[in-house]
Structure 1
Amino acid sequence: MHDTTTPVWPHHELGRELSNWGRWGDDDEIGTLNFVTPEKRVRSAQLVRTGRVFDLGMPFDKNGPFPAGGFRINPVHVMTLLPGDTAASKDGGISADDMIITGLQSATQWDGLAHVGYDGMFYNGVPAAAVNNFTGAARNAFPKVIERLVTRGVLLDIPRLKGVDRLSDSYEVTAEDLSAAEERQGVRVESGDILLLRTGWYQWFLEGDREHFLGNAAGPGLDSCRWLHDREVAALAVDNWSGEVWPSKVPGSVIPFHHVVIRDMGLTLGEMFNLEDLAADCAADGVWDFLLVAPGLKVTGAVGSPVTPLAIK
């Protein structure tokens, strides 16, 4: 006899427990970024004391992380107008123009709330049919969240907690790790914060080892979901390519952490953030929170966005 029983997925059970569907109304399309209020932004702006700026973004160019032939391509930059094309101007003026061809998730990027779902649904009961070739994402589109991606950022540095440069392959960051990092660093993640989670994985990209960077990545797993929910984290950004531990610790599932945090909790998830220089500075001055400005692009109907995030201390 063939067993047709529907499997009980542990991450879907967890997702039902942590679900934010309806929490901000049936029409809500921004999820946990509702925690970023005007008052929160005012307090966050007061964290700027020195004016030092840290660029957390990956370069958008042909030397990006992805190999040829995959479903994502590295950005392609093309000049469409050169100074020589305009040199005939009578007043001696010249100009240049260019374009870029890229996937919206091909470098440092945000996963929006129409990026991942399951059982035919995205966040807050949005049906899969709301994403199509004509409109892109008719609901839960990334531009809905842009203004909320300016708030207090907090960096939790798990390799420094463990006394290593980077975490080992497929290391799963747990709730215990997150709390221990807070205690060691003397900082606390609060409602409306964007959590920047350092695993050290971005070092593989900086060293030119694209294969290892795209391999078995350290990252958060299901154990951390309840912690993120309880702390009312507004968004999470990780320094690896997968946004979670890779490969999945749940047999038969590819990205279970995405399922819970994006589809059920409504949490915008960032990937491939370069946290190395910021982490070194935070370790030097003991200040682990800052103003984070990371709005992304207002691409109509997009399910994610490239971003050049800036941490300002």
Structure 2
Amino acid sequence: MAEQQTWPHHELGRKLNNWGRWGDDDQIGTLNFVTPATRVEAAGLVRTGKSFDLGMPFDKDGPFKAGGFRTNPQHIMTLLPSDTAHTKDGLISADDMIITGLQAATQWDGLAHAGYGGRFYNNVPAAAVNNFLGATRNSFHHAVERLISRGVLLDIARLKGVDRLEDSYEITEADLLAAEERQGVRVRSGDIVLLRTGSYQWFLEGDREHFLGNAPGPCLDTCEWLYEREVAALAIDNHSGEVWPSPIEGVTIPFHQVVIRDMGLTLGEMFNLEELAADCEADGVWEFLFCAPGLKVTGSAGSPITPIALK
């Protein structure tokens, strides 16, 4: 019998495993770090009333090409003013619908999104996700009310003195610590960390191919920092949620495997952090009230969002 290969990310995942930490029935993982006290403190960070929309437009001009497993949203009108013009009192009305993947724009990866070894977070078997009921365990909808907390932006591009990081740059724990030091902020238990690489600028410039290509992002070296700081969720401005392609030969999304499957951390992708980062750089305030609940879709593996930062 051939010897089974030992993968470095699976070894790391065993070390950082949170299965059973909040009970065998837990379905929200590190979002347990978001408490009522955390939210009360976060609400106190709103001092100027400035708000920042961190979401990608939800429309047919999104980042994805036709033919892939993710497609851009299709918006369809199901009722037009002309359809109601016959009403006696002159009422007109409109109604609409969307056809879309739940991860087709700025989005959260839920705990039923990625796993390995036939298991998802908290020892949930792969069969718990099926065509009939969707994610019967670890559905994203359980996470909705916890995704309001203190947000902290760590701007790695500005740390390095560049407009955007080089393609496939591996963000390390040292980078995260250096960004905290430069910005005069410290990530605490229950925080939602927003990580800026500058990659979203490719999308803003209309270069979808580059935006979906090789991307800078966190590597496995950051996982212990996320674990030790008790980060509730992580949101990134690239398409892949981690450095792309994987630096481990023959492996796809090893960072996802560790943080989602083993740690139970909700992971966000394709956040527009440009305006918020510029404002934080200008006023020196890198913490804010962060609100990004997502859609309460039963049995879902993720959700589109329009995240808002309030300062």
Give 1:47's aligned residue.
Answer: 45
Residues 140-185 of structure 1, C-alpha deviations (whole Å, 9 max, x = no match)? 0001110000000000000100000000000010000000000000
1:71 corresponds to 2:69: yes
Q: Secondary structure at the match of 2:293?
A: coil
1:4-23 pair list within 5 angstroms: 4-23=2-21
1:298 corresponds to 2:307: no
Give 1:309's aligned residue.
Answer: 307
Residues 110-169 of structure 1, C-alpha deviations (whole Å, 9 max, x = no match)? 000000000000000000000001110001000111000000000000010000000000
1:149 corresponds to 2:139: no
Give 1:223's aligned residue.
Answer: 221
Give 2:199's aligned residue.
Answer: 201
Give 2:157's aligned residue.
Answer: 159
Q: Which amino acid aligns with 2:148?
A: V
Q: Which amino acid aligns with 2:19?
A: W
State TM-score, norm by structure 1: 0.99
Q: CA deviation at 1:290?
A: 0.2
Q: 2:135 aligns with which of 134, 137, 143?
A: 137
Cα distance in 2, alignment partners of residues 266 and 143 from structure 1: 15
Q: Secondary structure at the match of 1:77?
A: strand
1:1-313 pair list within 5 angstroms: 4-313=2-311
Q: CA deviation at 1:250?
A: 0.8
Residues 3-29 of structure 1, C-alpha deviations (whole Å, 9 max, x = no match)? 721110000000000000111111111
Q: CA deviation at 1:69?
A: 1.0
Q: Which amino acid aligns with 1:109?
A: Q
Q: Secondary structure at the match of 2:201?
A: helix
Q: Secondary structure at the match of 2:175?
A: helix
Q: CA deviation at 1:225?
A: 0.4
In structure 2, list runs of 5 or more residues that go unmatched: none
Residues 96-121 of structure 1, C-alpha deviations (whole Å, 9 max, x = no match)? 00000000011000000000000000
Residues 214-246 of structure 1, C-alpha deviations (whole Å, 9 max, x = no match)? 000000010000010010000000000000000
Cα distance in 2, alignment partners of residues 185 and 192 from structure 1: 19
Q: CA deviation at 1:70?
A: 0.9
Q: Secondary structure at the match of 1:246?
A: coil
Q: Secondary structure at the match of 2:231?
A: coil
In structure 1, list runs of 5 or more residues that go unmatched: none
Residues 268-302 of structure 1, C-alpha deviations (whole Å, 9 max, x = no match)? 00000000000000000000000000000000100
What is the RMSD of the two structures over their aligned residues, measured on CA atoms?
0.6
Cα distance in 1, alignment partners of residues 143 and 91 from structure 2: 40
Runs of 4+ in 1 over 3 A off after TM superposition: none
Q: Which amino acid aligns with 1:113?
A: L
Q: Number of paired residues? A: 311
Cα distance in 2, alignment partners of residues 254 and 271 from structure 1: 16
Q: Secondary structure at the match of 1:311?
A: strand
Q: CA deviation at 1:264?
A: 0.2
